[in-house]
Amino acid sequence: MSASTSLQGQPTGAGIEDLLGEKLFLLADGATGTNLFAMGLESGEAPESWVLQHSDRVQALHQSFVDAGSDLFLTNTFGGTRHRLKLHGLDAQVGSLNRRAAQLAREVADKSGRQVIVAGSVGPTGEILAPLGKLDRADAIASFAEQIEGLVEGGIDLVWIETISAPDELEAAVEAARGFDIPVC
């Protein structure tokens, strides 16, 4: 699978190397979930659902990070695998939610007037992999790939795998991400 292009027609995925070559350090965003709670997200509500229900607030949050000087910000997709979304009855919308989250972020980055990296946030599935749990490796890889595909289609510059503490689950996420022609952090 290949990298996509930004809304301005620029290939995504190439920017982080350029920025790292130009700057001593990169500034990233703040705590997306924490900030969404301050914007009205209710406890138990899926932050990812906001990309459809409150897209204006999600974009305002991204914009606040850019306005504060962030060179890189994450999509609102930390819990964007089908396993996490199933807890909220949203598992059938994995592709559309992740795609829309990336599109919202891409729009903000492209309007910034400077190079801003959109990182597709990929968090843990919330499941335990076999043999201790019920999730097998192939399903974990497929779940991560499904999420990443939506993010790539929406225009991310790179995949940002975060907060996965189980080595076998992290390996599954990395394997899924390597199936796409895009940088992985």
- pLDDT tens-digit map of 84-96: 999 999 999 999 9
Show the domains of the chain with their CATH numbers. Answer: 26-32+48-179 (3.20.20.330)
Task: Give me the mean pLDDT over the 16-33 stretch.
Answer: 91
Q: What is the helix (H) or strand (E) element at residue 86, kind and residue range? A: helix 82-86
What lies within 8 Å, CB to CB, of 22 at 6+ separation is none
pTM, to two decimals:
0.91
